[in-house]
């Protein structure tokens, strides 16, 4: 049933007032909204809205005396639409419609053409989660449907920031081994949104690193971003492959009395603190099979050539973004950046072209090579680097990878029972916000902090976070803009020395399903600070209490005398005595001595921050 005369296509110069709200509309037609009824569909520049032709009485429509309840939406913002498609079956039989709609056709068997608008709505119970919605509109006239599709698609093209071409890495064995299935579940969102994807399913650890570090700048420039279908460790590998050859920055600062322990036998250390990192040393990592040597590289993407040397790929790069489709065991980075652990939400945030900046820690290990030269070894971390308990858990858990995500619980229990502590010295740059929980008095006793922020005073990072939005201007300030808390005239260093159960540096809150508020509830995605958490040796029961607090929503895991919490842009670590390893974003990094700093908002993610 067609109502001729109710359609109008309005050009730019002769916009027609919408009958609903007086706003200028671009397009208006009477169409059939499947499962609802006949509607007047109106497109304003930023919104598609519809209204039932038959007036509703309290959301109830009546047809032939039968009442139908209409609880559907009455519109969708253009920014929440990710695809509009003309349905290729061409026409449908009225018999496949809902009873309410069939009533409109009085049972006639009429063929219709249709198009579907794909978008999302936020879950009412979990606001960070996006739920797919689709609205199918029908009309007997094919050109009319085509006109709507063309108009809406033309408008979607003007939506800012949406990607067109992505490089996707899938880790098939991530988490419970669901990497491929997870990608298959979200791939239709990309194809509907007409986002081209080059998909690489990894066959071994280190492959994504190789591809990312050897891909030419010309080819990388052809992508709008890279997507990891996997866990935190997999994302870390991709991040390191991206940054290592491209990001040029000084090494982290160290205090004037920082002695590189590799400097024994009176050799002088040849490193200059201002020396530029090219990061290629990561490729020579000798102890970790995950980061292979260049010879192993079986890259499925072309290698450098002379044309590429001329092509630039600036880092930081505002356009190029990273996405994570969660398929791992912990997925802390995706939880912190999207507020949820949901592949559909992640895929939608990617195709809709969302953007949030993320701080990245540069962790530099100082180590003597077989030729007796001291060599820095650079790793980048997006979520957490930890030593002692955290390093021991990751080492132990690798033995039980076959258990899947449960291996962390098992390994955690084993390591907890052993209750090992490690002798170390940590120095950190003080800032006005540095000492947050515990402080040592001059007699060496641990005092409960007086400056610990009360819970209600904590500024939690969320969508449009004010703290993160004060982002530095990378273009005008160069690399200095990445270390805003290190650029003051005088850097003040503080020191903690003793036996520690763990030493950790959180870049972000590290929320995950086991720790709903994360390790540091008020950490920000992009404030240019690391949260240094030092857990001094303490009785077993006290440590258990700290760990238990971590698992509680609203818990206070840092509010103990044996816990030091320092908000700092840089720190150094030197171990003495028996050693653990570092756990960098869930990957092992063996370092006896290291220095670290954080770069504010170094990379952009396809996300918008958590909706907390
Ligand atoms: N095809 C592969 N086979 C084996 N290992 C791989 C493969 N592809 C990648 N890897 C390695 O597996 C490691 C762990 O991957 P990932 O982070 O996805 O899983 P996870 O450890 O289960 O999750 P999470 O890091 O969230 O706890 C990564 O460091 C990556 O190098």
Residue 363 to residue 381: CA distance in whole angstroms: 7
Helix (H) or strand (E) holding 104: helix 99-104
From the list 611, 608, 469, 610, the residue with the least C-alpha distance to 79 is: 608
The pair of structure tokens assigned to 535 is 């857990």
How much distance in Å is there from the Cα of 232 to the middle of ligand 1?
8
Give the orientation angle of helix 179-192 with respect to helix 343-351, to 10 degrees.
30
Query: Which of 168, 172, 174 for mutating ligand 1's site (highest number of atoms within 8 Å of CB)?
Result: 174
Q: Are 368 and 374 within 8 A, CB to CB?
A: yes
Q: Which atom of ligand 1 is nearest to the CA of 330?
A: 26
- The fraction of the chain above a pLDDT of 90, given in percent, is 58
Query: Which of 168, 230, 399 for mutating ligand 1's site (highest number of atoms within 8 Å of CB)?
Result: 230
Query: Which of 210, 233, 400, 406 for mutating ligand 1's site (highest number of atoms within 8 Å of CB)?
Result: 233
From the list 141, 585, 531, 170, the residue with the least C-alpha distance to 379 is: 585
Residue 562 to residue 65: CA distance in whole angstroms: 73
The residue nearest atom 22 of ligand 1, judged by CA position, is 175
Q: Are 3 and 66 within 8 A, CB to CB?
A: no
3-state secondary structure 80-142: HEEEEEECCCCCEEHHHCCHHHHHHCCCCCCEEEEEEEEEEEECCCCCCCEEEEEEEEEECCH
569: Cβ–Cβ under 8 A, 6 or more apart, which residues? 429, 431, 483, 484, 485, 486, 528, 529, 530, 597, 598
Ramachandran angles phi, psi of 69, nearest 5°: -95, 130
Residue 211 to residue 228: CA distance in whole angstroms: 13
Q: Which atom of ligand 1 is nearest to the CA of 171?
A: 8
Q: Which atom of ligand 1 is nearest to the CA of 179?
A: 18
Ramachandran angles phi, psi of 383, nearest 5°: -125, -55
Residues with CB under 6 A from ligand 1: 171-175, 202-206, 230-234, 237, 290, 328-331, 586-587
Query: Which of 180, 201, 205 for mutating ligand 1's site (highest number of atoms within 8 Å of CB)?
Result: 205
Q: Are 85 and 99 within 8 A, CB to CB?
A: no
**pLDDT for the residue 97:** 54
Residue 154 to residue 148: CA distance in whole angstroms: 10
The residue nearest atom 11 of ligand 1, judged by CA position, is 205
How much distance in Å is there from the Cα of 388 to the middle of ligand 1?
22
Q: Which atom of ligand 1 is nearest to the CA of 332?
A: 26
Dihedral angle sign, alpha carbons of residues 149, 154, 156, 162: positive
Q: Which atom of ligand 1 is nearest to the CA of 232?
A: 25
Three-state secondary structure call for residue 157: helix
Q: Which atom of ligand 1 is nearest to the CA of 326?
A: 26
Whole-number Cα distances in Å, 397 to 33, 350, 589? 53, 32, 14
Whole-number Cα distances in Å, 374 to 248, 368, 424, 573? 20, 4, 21, 17
How much distance in Å is there from the Cα of 173 to the middle of ligand 1?
7
Q: What length is written for the chain?
A: 612
How much distance in Å is there from the Cα of 105 to the middle of ligand 1?
55
Ramachandran angles phi, psi of 177, nearest 5°: 80, 25
The residue nearest atom 6 of ligand 1, judged by CA position, is 205
Q: Which of 7, 224, 232, 522 is catalytic?
A: 232
User: How many Cα atoms within 13 Å fall on the side-chain side of residue 254?
Assistant: 22
Give 10-60 pLDDT, tens digit per residue. Answer: 333 233 444 444 456 789 999 999 888 899 999 998 999 999 987 555 555
Q: Are 594 and 438 within 8 A, CB to CB?
A: no
- What are residue 66's DSSP bridge partners? 63
Give me the residue label for tokens 């990379």.
603
The residue nearest atom 14 of ligand 1, judged by CA position, is 233
**Over the chain, what is the mean pLDDT?**
81
Q: Are 41 and 51 within 8 A, CB to CB?
A: no
Q: Which atom of ligand 1 is nearest to the CA of 230?
A: 18
Cis peptide before 606 (omega within 30 of 0): no
Give me the residue label for tokens 């206070």.
556
**pLDDT for the residue 212:** 98
Residue 235 to residue 165: CA distance in whole angstroms: 19
* Rg of the chain on CA atoms, in Å: 28
The residue nearest atom 9 of ligand 1, judged by CA position, is 205
How much distance in Å is there from the Cα of 231 to the middle of ligand 1?
6
Do the strands 356-368 and 374-381 form a parallel or antiparallel pair, or are they unpaired? antiparallel
The residue nearest atom 31 of ligand 1, judged by CA position, is 205
Q: Are 122 and 130 within 8 A, CB to CB?
A: yes
How much distance in Å is there from the Cα of 148 to the middle of ligand 1?
44
How much distance in Å is there from the Cα of 593 to the middle of ligand 1?
26
Residue 558 to residue 336: CA distance in whole angstroms: 19
Q: Any idea what DSSP says for residue 224?
A: S
How much distance in Å is there from the Cα of 408 to the middle of ligand 1?
14
Count CB-CB contacts under 10 A for residue 173: 17
How much distance in Å is there from the Cα of 458 to the middle of ligand 1?
34
Residue 439 to residue 437: CA distance in whole angstroms: 7
Residue 146 to residue 85: CA distance in whole angstroms: 9
Q: Are 238 and 227 within 8 A, CB to CB?
A: no
159: Cβ–Cβ under 8 A, 6 or more apart, which residues? 78, 79, 352, 353
Helix (H) or strand (E) holding 60: strand 60-63
How much distance in Å is there from the Cα of 200 to the middle of ligand 1?
14
232 included as an active-site residue: yes
Give per-10-residue mean pLDDT for the chain (612 aa).
Answer: 36 36 73 90 93 66 48 87 86 53 57 92 93 94 94 94 97 94 98 98 97 96 97 97 94 85 40 42 39 42 57 90 96 96 98 96 84 81 96 89 83 91 96 57 40 55 87 64 80 94 96 91 93 96 93 92 96 92 92 94 94 76
What domains are defined for the chain? 8-157 (2.30.29.30), 165-264+275-605 (2.60.200.40)
Query: Which of 204, 213, 228, 234 for mutating ligand 1's site (highest number of atoms within 8 Å of CB)?
Result: 234
Residue 331 to residue 327: CA distance in whole angstroms: 7
The residue nearest atom 5 of ligand 1, judged by CA position, is 205
Q: Which atom of ligand 1 is nearest to the CA of 331?
A: 26
ipTM: 0.97
- What are residue 39's DSSP bridge partners? 31, 52
């Amino acid at each position: 049933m067609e109502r001729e005369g109710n359609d109008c296509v309005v050009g730019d110069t002769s916009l027609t007032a919408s009958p609903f709200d007086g706003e200028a509309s671009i397009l208006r037609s009477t169409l059939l909204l499947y499962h609802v009824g006949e509607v007047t569909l109106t497109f304003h520049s930023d919104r598609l809205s519809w209204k039932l032709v038959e007036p509703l009485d309290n959301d109830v429509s009546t047809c032939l005396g039968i009442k139908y309840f209409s609880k559907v939406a009455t519109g969708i913002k253009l920014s929440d639409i990710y695809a509009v498609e003309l349905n290729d079956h061409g026409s449908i039989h009225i018999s496949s419609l809902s009873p309410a709609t069939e009533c409109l056709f009085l049972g006639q068997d009429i063929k219709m053409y249709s198009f579907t608008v794909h978008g999302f709505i936020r879950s009412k119970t979990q606001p960070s989660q996006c739920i797919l919605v689709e609205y199918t509109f029908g009309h007997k006239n094919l050109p009319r449907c085509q006109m709507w599709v063309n108009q809406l698609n033309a408008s979607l093209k003007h939506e800012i920031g949406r990607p067109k071409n992505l490089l996707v890495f899938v880790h098939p064995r991530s988490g419970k081994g669901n990497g491929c299935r997870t990608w298959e579940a979200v791939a239709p969102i990309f194809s509907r949104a007409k986002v081209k994807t080059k998909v690489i399913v990894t066959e071994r650890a280190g492959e994504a690193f190789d591809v990312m570090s050897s891909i030419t700048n010309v080819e990388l420039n052809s992508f709008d971003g890279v997507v990891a279908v996997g866990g935190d460790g997999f994302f870390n590998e991709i991040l390191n492959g991206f940054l290592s050859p491209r990001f040029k920055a000084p090494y982290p600062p160290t205090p004037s009395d920082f002695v590189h322990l590799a400097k024994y036998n009176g050799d002088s250390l040849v490193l200059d603190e201002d020396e530029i990192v090219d990061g290629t040393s990561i490729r020579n990592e000798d102890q970790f099979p995950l980061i292979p040597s260049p010879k192993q590289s079986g890259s499925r993407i072309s290698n450098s050539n002379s044309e590429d040397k001329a092509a630039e790929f600036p880092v930081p790069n505002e356009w190029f973004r990273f996405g994570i489709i969660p398929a791992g065991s912990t997925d802390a980075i995706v939880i912190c950046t999207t507020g949820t652990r949901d592949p559909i939400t992640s895929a939608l945030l990617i195709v809709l072209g969302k953007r949030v900046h993320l701080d990245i820690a540069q962790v530099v290990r100082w180590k003597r090579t077989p030729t007796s030269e001291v060599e820095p070894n650079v790793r980048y971390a997006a979520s957490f680097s930890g030593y002692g308990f955290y390093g021991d858990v990751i080492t132990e858990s690798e033995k039980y990878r076959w258990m899947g995500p449960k291996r962390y619980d098992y390994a955690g229990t084993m390591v907890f029972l052993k209750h090992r502590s490690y002798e170390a010295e940590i120095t950190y740059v003080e800032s006005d916000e540095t000492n947050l929980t515990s402080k040592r008095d001059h007699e060496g006793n641990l005092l409960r902090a007086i400056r610990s922020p009360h819970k209600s005073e904590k500024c939690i990072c969320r969508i449009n976070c004010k703290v993160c939005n004060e982002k530095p201007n990378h273009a005008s300030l160069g690399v200095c803009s990445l270390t805003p808390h290190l650029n003051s005239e005088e850097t003040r260093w503080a020191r903690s020395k003793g036996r520690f159960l763990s030493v950790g540096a959180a870049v972000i809150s590290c929320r995950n399903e086991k720790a709903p508020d994360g390790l540091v509830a008020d950490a920000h995605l992009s404030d240019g600070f690391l949260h240094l958490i030092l857990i001094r040796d303490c009785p077993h029961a006290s440590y258990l209490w700290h760990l238990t607090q971590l698992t509680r929503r609203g818990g206070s895991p840092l509010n103990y005398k044996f816990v030091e919490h320092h908000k700092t842009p840089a720190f150094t670590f030197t171990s003495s005595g028996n050693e653990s390893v570092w756990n960098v974003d869930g990957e092992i990094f063996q370092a006896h001595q290291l220095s670290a700093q954080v770069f504010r908002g170094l990379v952009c993610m396809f996300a918008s921050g958590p909706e907390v």
